[in-house]
A and B are shown apart, each in its own frame.
Chain A
Amino acid sequence: MPPALEAKSINKSFGSHRVLHDVSFAVQAGEVHALVGENGAGKSTLMNIIGGIHTRDAGELLLKGQAIDPADVWQARQLGISVVFQELSLTPNMTVAQNIFVRREPTKALGMIDWQRLNADAQALFEQIGVEISPTELVGNYSVGIQQIIEIAKAISFDAEVIIMDEPTSALSESEVDRLFGIIADLKAQGVAIVFISHKLGEVFRIADRISVLRDGEMVGVTKPADSSPDEIIRMMVGRSFDDLYPPKGVVGDEVILEVRELSHPPLFHDISFSLRKGEILGIAGLVGAGRTEVARAIFGADSYSSGSIALAGERLDIKSPREAIEKGIVYLTEDRKVMGLFLSMTMRENIVSAALGRFVGALGILRHKEIAAESGRAMQRNDIRPRDDLLSVNSLSGGNQQKSLLAKCLSANPKALLADEPTRGVDVGAKVKIHQALRDLANHGVGVIVISSELPEVLGLSDRVIVFREGRISAILAGDNISQAEVMRHAVQ
């Protein structure tokens, strides 16, 4: 039997830059085939070609042995190939059901849309995959994690024979990942071919039947999880091995930098109390929607809170805006770099110094450009942002370098306490190691660092202590070298 989907000798260049070189790839019906590789290795480009978003320069696409040539996403979906985008393709101002069935709305007489059936179909779809999401709610009112699940439901709703998931878990908490994997297992049993693109090797080894590795636009190899190991895959991905993803832990001082007391803002979070010490990395774990981001934003003055107190180095603060927080030395690294963090069409230099302009302003508010250029150059160097040209616009960078730019922006504001929300979301292994090291260096220089992460290994590997959130409350504060993932999960869900 021919594979459900086969790509043969695909070539693709953007301008003079060759992104894919003779790449061949096949996925069988009822198979989960993982595609891994560093950012920029060509995974997304390959999937975009299969999904009809980009056109290939050379090569063949075969669906069950038949040559196909999808001209756009819509055609690809009609053929039975559905892509779940890394960048969400949902419209926030429309309801969940409207988003899922866009262009396929059931109609009554005269082409009027049958809203009842539309919502009922969406409801049935959610029941099928076992999630509770209201079809009539606006998509924008759901968190990024839930939106990801809606996106996946949309892909499933096309009765696709091939579903391509591009980093589907990057915004999901562990329990949501479990649920997704349950959905994937069901699809697999129904004979759907699934391409699973991920940076998270733990997940890849859990779910994949085969693993294909791309490096610099070439297919390095195909292997089965049983015949390989994460270390071997990393070696294949980067051409070298990483002995340790996490930097050694530092020495935590006794001095408290940030003290949060009984912070509440019902219904989002209640009675949040903790202290962050000088030189400490404090991890915050929990499910998406447990209130972690909301607490961080409240401390930063981005959102308000109803009661409680926040003190920085013993001084009680009454922060009403991010500007005041930054002036005091509290900086928040946002979980959503494209929407809330970076100025994508502006240069790296402008981005890096954006939160620190106050340091470079002379008489009458005139900026000192020489100092700005020097600061930006230092930050590029220190954070190893590439290419090393700070007059390039940020949207020309890879995800990993964008994330490093966001970190550089936060650091140039000279924080005393840094609240890093998903600091390594959607970045490759190499960038991840660099960002972890940068956070630890920061702590070693006496800054208090909070790391919110939905990746348990990251929280555990990086943090000196771990706070677990559950439904808007702190359910545990764990310390010591031997915190286990199972222990954290228990506190997160029970």
Chain B
Amino acid sequence: MIKFPGLPDKSKSLLNDRSVILALLILVISIALSLLTPAFLSSRNLTFVVTGMTYDLLMALGMTVVLLLWGIDLSVGSVLGLTAVVTTMLLQDGAAIPLAIGLGLGVSALCGAINGFFVAYLKIAPFIVTLGMMSVARGIATVLTSGYFVSGLPDAYKAIGQGRLFNVPYMVYIALVAVVILALLLRNWRPLREAFYIGTNPEAARLTGIRVAMITMGGYIFCSLMAGSAAIFMTSRLSMGFFQFGLGAELKAIAAAVIGGASLRGGTGSVIGTTLAVFLLALINNGFVLLKGSPNAQNVIMGGILVVAIMIDAYRRRDRDEN
């Protein structure tokens, strides 16, 4: 049987089975929602869904790369919060916009580099390292703001998240471009191809001459940078920074990546799968809101979906390993 992902081959379709299943699910839910409530197909609602999923998408893409490397990053939500706070505080103090964004992203990259260094070079379990970072980053964000909102942002900055082209926010286009680029890189770029080897068998990868530590560290930096980018979009769209931004985002990102085809046991992951999974989760959320479900029950559903996704992953892995 042919396992996905293999090195791309012309005879192989761009979509794997899982993507087809996800696309069908999306179609079914969309049809159901449009029949159940006319509000679903309104352009206002659709724009709302697509915009809202941008943050999740960016973070799920980063998570896909980390899971591919047989890692996990629990700190993405906190890194989002920290980046949001740092960037907006700099802007409030009158820093130039590129400088504020650059420093904000720099902080997120630093968080990723610290995660990556501990995991790749000091060989500490990623779960522990990123759990620590989750607490530290959120803690710093809290201390910096004393729990207050950061507002008073320049209009030019707000335009990043609020500007629209054809009535769709810029950031949606940017996220889609990120999807396409990452999908191409994951198939064709040597370091990311090598990530598949690392995630499948790190010791064999080392003995094969692959720069395991360097690529692993790069994966964590990339993942944090995606969380940082989400923070820029979120703060500019909402015109403020807040230390609680991104709370619980790691769960959504992990759920989406795993539903999309990544395994907690490394070695697999698909950009298209992750993208479709993010969209699917966004639709489920939206349906919940439109059908007037209790917002409190939403977390129950998200958690349930995550557990089911991981269960499916476990069964799939058993099939793979038993071979």
Residues of A within 8 A of B (CB): 300, 302, 321-323, 325-327, 332, 334, 339-347, 349-350, 354-355, 357, 361, 364-367, 369, 372-373, 391-393, 395-396, 409, 413
Evaluate contact between A396 and B323: CB separation under 8 angstroms. Answer: yes
Evaluate contact between A391 and B6: CB separation under 8 angstroms. Answer: yes
Closest to A413 in B: B209
- List residues of chain B with CB within 8 A of the CB of A354: 197, 205, 208, 210
Evaluate contact between A349 and B267: CB separation under 8 angstroms. Answer: no
Closest to B199 in A: A343
Evaluate contact between A350 and B7: CB separation under 8 angstroms. Answer: yes
Query: Which of these, B190, B200, B208, contacts A409 with CB under 8 Å?
Result: B208
B123 within 8 A of A: no
- List residues of chain A with CB within 8 A of the CB of B200: 343-346
Evaluate contact between A347 and B207: CB separation under 8 angstroms. Answer: no
Known: A369-B188, A393-B1, A393-B3. A344 touches B208 (CB 8 A): no
B211 within 8 A of A: yes
- List residues of chain B with CB within 8 A of the CB of A342: 201, 204
- List residues of chain B with CB within 8 A of the CB of A373: 7, 9
- List residues of chain B with CB within 8 A of the CB of A326: 208-209
- List residues of chain B with CB within 8 A of the CB of A391: 2, 6, 9, 12
Closest to B184 in A: A366
Known: A342-B204, A343-B200, A372-B7. A327 touches B190 (CB 8 A): no
Give bound CA distance, A393 to B205, whole Å.
17
- List residues of chain A with CB within 8 A of the CB of B188: 366-367, 369
Evaluate contact between A355 and B209: CB separation under 8 angstroms. Answer: yes
Residues of B within 8 A of A (CB): 1-3, 6-9, 12, 188-191, 193-194, 196-197, 200-201, 203-211, 267, 320-321, 323
Given contacts A321-B209, A393-B3, 5 further A-B pairs with CB under 8 A are: A345-B323, A350-B197, A365-B189, A367-B189, A392-B2
Evaluate contact between B190 and A357: CB separation under 8 angstroms. Answer: yes
- List residues of chain B with CB within 8 A of the CB of A361: 190
- List residues of chain B with CB within 8 A of the CB of A302: 206-207
- List residues of chain A with CB within 8 A of the CB of B1: 392-393, 396
Give bound CA distance, A287 to B191, whole Å.
40
Closest to A339 in B: B203
Closest to B196 in A: A346
* CB<8 Å pairs between A and B, sample of 8: A321-B209, A326-B208, A332-B207, A343-B201, A344-B201, A361-B190, A392-B1, A413-B209
Known: A322-B209, A345-B267. A369 touches B6 (CB 8 A): no
- List residues of chain A with CB within 8 A of the CB of B196: 343, 346, 350
Chain A nearest CB, measured from B75 CB (Å): 27
Evaluate contact between B323 and A393: CB separation under 8 angstroms. Answer: yes
Give bound CA distance, A391 to B204, whole Å.
20
Known: A343-B197, A345-B200. A323 touches B191 (CB 8 A): no
Evaluate contact between B190 and A323: CB separation under 8 angstroms. Answer: no
Chain A nearest CB, measured from B218 CB (Å): 12
Chain A nearest CB, measured from B68 CB (Å): 12
- List residues of chain A with CB within 8 A of the CB of B208: 322, 326, 354-355, 409
Q: Tally the A-B contacts, defined by beta carbons under 8 Å.
A: 106
Chain A nearest CB, measured from B13 CB (Å): 13
Evaluate contact between B323 and A327: CB separation under 8 angstroms. Answer: no
Give bound CA distance, A302 to B189, whole Å.
26
- List residues of chain B with CB within 8 A of the CB of A334: 204, 207
Chain A nearest CB, measured from B308 CB (Å): 23
Closest to B191 in A: A365
- List residues of chain B with CB within 8 A of the CB of A349: 6-7
Evaluate contact between A340 and B204: CB separation under 8 angstroms. Answer: yes
Known: A357-B190, A366-B190, A396-B1. A341 touches B207 (CB 8 A): yes
- List residues of chain A with CB within 8 A of the CB of B190: 357, 361, 365-367
Chain A nearest CB, measured from B5 CB (Å): 9
- List residues of chain A with CB within 8 A of the CB of B203: 339-340
Closest to A327 in B: B209
Closest to B263 in A: A345
Give bound CA distance, A122 to B209, whole Å.
41
Chain B nearest CB, measured from A194 CB (Å): 29
| A-B interface, 9 closest residue pairs, ranked by CB to CB distance from nearest | A326-B209, A323-B209, A365-B190, A347-B6, A343-B200, A393-B3, A395-B323, A355-B208, A354-B208
Chain B nearest CB, measured from A392 CB (Å): 7
Max chain A Cβ within 10 angstroms of own Cβ: one of B194, B209, B210, B321: B209
Evaluate contact between B204 and A369: CB separation under 8 angstroms. Answer: no
Give bound CA distance, A346 to B266, whole Å.
12
Chain A nearest CB, measured from B17 CB (Å): 15
Evaluate contact between B3 and A346: CB separation under 8 angstroms. Answer: yes
Known: A345-B267, A396-B323. A340 touches B197 (CB 8 A): no
Give bound CA distance, A427 to B321, whole Å.
21
Give bound CA distance, A342 to B323, whole Å.
14
Evaluate contact between A357 and B194: CB separation under 8 angstroms. Answer: yes
- List residues of chain A with CB within 8 A of the CB of B204: 334, 339-343
- List residues of chain B with CB within 8 A of the CB of A367: 7, 188-190, 193
- List residues of chain A with CB within 8 A of the CB of B6: 346-347, 349-350, 391
Known: A346-B200, A413-B209. A369 touches B267 (CB 8 A): no
Chain A nearest CB, measured from B141 CB (Å): 35
